[in-house]
Every structure is written in structure tokens, then in C-alpha cells.
Structure 1
């Protein structure tokens, strides 16, 4: 499914795999104009232990960066975190219990999946169907060893120098718009997504599916392009909200940075880098020189 590519949106809801490619080479792009170089690094937001993804090119770019940009910047305090999360809850929490929103068979399956993951069934009841789907998928991945604490964004953000500035591309307005659009898709569409997640959990074995991550590690974008093309056809509303709208919503900030900054590193999920809606394509269309895969 799609939770592997979603950062803060799914994270708000709330098996060790050793991967040793011959040479880590995750995708990296360089965007330039007369006085600015912007490095785009396609990341994965949650990983299992043992994944060696850092490269010399990335580390050099980070060492010289004046500004490092993420989709979401971790709040400094618990109060700031709650101030960010609480307004979003109205899009996540259902108007009625999940058991009264989806069909009886769907809820029974969701309840069994939650119990298998040691998730509190009462918490499941609170969520809209789309949010329950993401929660179950994330819970299954976490049970197999994938962790946001080991994700590229978390590792890089916590390792920055004190003198390096950070900025979030997902403004409060963009986050609210994304959440609202997910909620407005309706409970019927949400139940379809929930059923798809439940089907995938039924078919999964105990091993963590690392197909996308393994491709990313060696710079192979084809499986990721194929996954995004499939998502665009099979879940066009979800694709529009999570990919197209956010990518285009980020462009004014990226153009501003190209006008005002010297050296910038942008860390966003690799899914945002591929296809006609990807950031490299949008930045080329905006007139910048873009080098990369």
C-alpha cells in the first residue's frame, strides 16, 4: 500500500531486516540558477534497522547547506507538537464510531487486525475509515521492524549543526487542506481503502516488504514510478491529495528559496520526485536547470 511514502500525515495517527546493497546510491538531484544550488534528496520516512543509505554526495551537500528543508519539521516542545496535531484531529476522528460507519464484515476484519497488532480496539473506533486504514498499515510495518525513528528525515534532522536553518514545506494551511481533502473523500471511499489494506495484511507474510526501499537504495526509480502510476489510476483522490496538491503547494516556497538562498538541501519522500507531478519536473518547467536521474 501507500503508508511507506507518507510522512507527517500518517504519523499523526498513531522483523529486523538487514539490507546491504553493493553501493548505496539513493536518488539525488541538483537544481541550479545563476546564484543558487538546491539539492533534492528523495527519502524514505520509515526504515528497519541495518539500512545503510548515506552517501558522500549527500553528506557534502548537507555540510555546505545554509538551509535544510523537510516536509515537516519536528516541533521543539510538546506544547508545539500538540498545537500542530490537535487542529487536525477533526479530520481524523469520525462523527460516529467506525463500527457504525463501515459494514459489519469490514469492521470485524479491522478489529481482528487491530487485536493482532496489540492496538486498542476502542482507539480504532474513533477513526474515520481512511485514518483507520493508515493506522493498521503503519502498525503492521512497525511490528515487522520499520520505524520512523530510523527514517531518513528523522536521522538527518537530528544530525544537523546548530547553525543550520530548517524550514517545513508543509505549512499549516497545506496540512489542513490535505487532511480536509482526505476527510471529504467520504466514508465509502475510506472503507474501500480500509478493505484494500486489510486484504494486503491478509496476504502478507512475516517478512517486511522492502521492494521499494531496495530499489531506492540503488537509485532505481522504476518500481517507484510504477507504484505512483498505479496509485494515480487506482486511488486518484488519494494521489491528488498526497502527491499532486502538495507538490504544487510546495513550489512557491521552492521558487522563493531559489531566489533568496545560496545552498539548500531539500529532503522529501522519493515518491514526490517521480513522474509528471514530481518536483524535478515542476522545477524544470519553472525554468531551472535540474540534473539527476
Structure 2
């Protein structure tokens, strides 16, 4: 977690895991202090937009014409897909776009790693701020977020799907290790994993990480003109590295301090 501050405004930037093992202790220490101090919470998606995400996914995910999975994947990638499929779950097969198949595979992988969205940071923050009767907002809409994937070039979508399928056997272990690194606050480990995931697909890195980080840092900079205390909670990958939101804000001359 980082703090962006000037004499009359404090904005805490909390890097989250959207799904975690049940019982993970993440809301103590400085995070608890930030939650108490904040006048409002802002997440990637507001609770209403998060609730709408499933329906939006259902609208955007179907292909215009079916394409069998064994015409998209071959070799180890197809094998990994089939082995993950055998562990339970319908990933859309021939009915869905490549990006949507990858998303459903990711959800199944998280479940196999015993990570639950109900135990994730966003779920806990939403409950806490609702109990405190504090407002909760969002930086994006569900449709805008999913369109980031839907509008990726077809070759980028296919590469993402192939990489996910090729690593399907090891993915639950890797996701579990990522959650452990996050729990330790190990930024270097997080950056190494996240960079490995997106460096091979520059179009995905630009759309999903870099461009959003720039939009969000610009939003934070504008919000600093209004007094008060705010907690902004976004995926941890958006807050690390030279293109993360804290680094971009520092480059714009704001005072940014890591506080936890």
C-alpha cells in the first residue's frame, strides 16, 4: 500500500488480490488504519458494476461463429486445456472467444488453488465500507473492462490463450505462490510473475496494464485537488514497477510513500 499526500488530501493506493485463500489476514496494520481514515472507497469496479459483470461477459464472450478448441490449440497447449477441463468446469469450448475461454480457465485455476473471490480484498473492503455507511465508487464499468480483452487483436488473444493452456498444469501452484508473495508484500516477486505473463504479448500489456495505469494516475492527480482521505484499491499488478501508478505519480511530481 502507498500513500499520495499533500497538505489537505491523502489517497491510499492498496494493491489487491481479487481472490484469496479463506482466512487470509490482510486487513490489519496500516490497511486497517487507512480503512478507518478513508471517507470513501474507490475500486476498479463499483459493487453495482461488479454485480453486472457476469451479464456483460455473457453478451461479449460468444463467438460470431463456433470454432472448435482443437483448431485453436495444439500440442502441449491443447493437452493442458484438456487436463484442466477434466478437473471440472466448462470453458466455453468452441462457443466463446479466445479471451473468454482464458478468463474461465483462470477462474477454474483459482478455485483449484483454493482461492475465492468471496475472500478477496474487494469483497472484504465492500463489506467494511458498507457497514461503515461510507460511499463506494469505481474507476471503470464492467463493459469497459471486458472490452479491453474483447478488442485485443485476434493474434494477441490467441497467444494469451495458448500461454494459459500450456501452463495449466502448473498454474494452480503458481497462482498460490503469487498470493503468498502478495501476503508478504514482496513487490519484486509480484513484478517478476506479472511481467512474465504480459511481456510476451505487448498489445495485452499496453491495453490491460500500461494504458489503464496512465488513466488511473491521471485520475488520482485530479482528485488531489479536492481535500479529504480516500482509499483506492486496484489489482496489485497496477501498482508495481516503473509503469505502476505510484511511479507515474512520482514522475508527475507528487509525493508518494510506501506505507505497508
TM-score, normalised on structure 1?
A: 0.77
TM superposition shift of 1:29? 0.9
Shift of 1:225: 1.6
Match of 1:14 in 2: none
Q: Aligned to 2:23, what secondary structure does the other structure show?
A: coil
Q: Does the alignment pair 1:169 with 2:142? A: no
Task: Give the match for residue 238 of structure 1.
Answer: 204
Compute the displacement of 1:35 (Å): 0.8
Question: Are 2:40 and 1:70 equivalent residues in the alignment?
Answer: no
1:109, distance to aligned residue in structure 2 (A)? 4.3
* 1:119-158 to 2 correspondences below 5 Å: 119-120=89-90, 123-158=92-127
What's the secondary structure of 2:114's corresponding residue? coil
The alpha-carbon deviation at position 118 of structure 1 amounts to 2.6
What is the CA-CA distance between 1:224 and the residue it aligns to?
1.2
Counterparts of 1:14-25 in structure 2 under 5 Å?
none
What is the match of residue 44 of structure 1? 17
1:247 aligns with 2:213: yes
Provide structure 2 residue ranges, at least 5 long, that are not aligned to the other structure.
none
1:137: Cα distance to partner? 2.3
Tell me the SS of whatever aligns to 2:4.
strand
- The equivalent of 2:161 in structure 1 is 194
Distance of 1:242 and 1:108 partners within structure 2:
25
Matches within 5 A, 1:99-110: 99=68, 102-103=71-72, 105=74, 109=79
Superposition TM-score, scaled by structure 2 size? 0.85
Q: How far, CA to CA, are the matches of 1:120 and 1:189 in structure 2?
A: 22
Change (3 A) 1:198 1:87: closer
Residues 159-179 of structure 1: CA deviation (Å, up to 9, x unaligned) = 21343111101146xx52x53
2:18/2:117 contact within 8 Å kept: yes
Q: What is the aligned counterpart of 1:221 among 163, 187, 192?
A: 187
| Conserved 8 A contact 1:130-1:187 | no
Root mean square deviation, CA, Å: 2.8
User: What does 1:268-279 correspond to in 2, within 5 Å?
Assistant: 268-279=234-245
Change (3 A) 1:292 1:145: same
**Contact 1:113 1:136 (C-alpha < 8 Å) held by counterparts:** no
> Could you say which residue in structure 1 is the equivalent of 2:248?
282
Aligned pairs, number? 257
Q: Distance in 2 between matches of 1:52 and 1:273?
A: 20
Q: Structure 1 residues 203 and 273, CA, compared in 2 at 3 Å: closer, same or farther?
A: closer
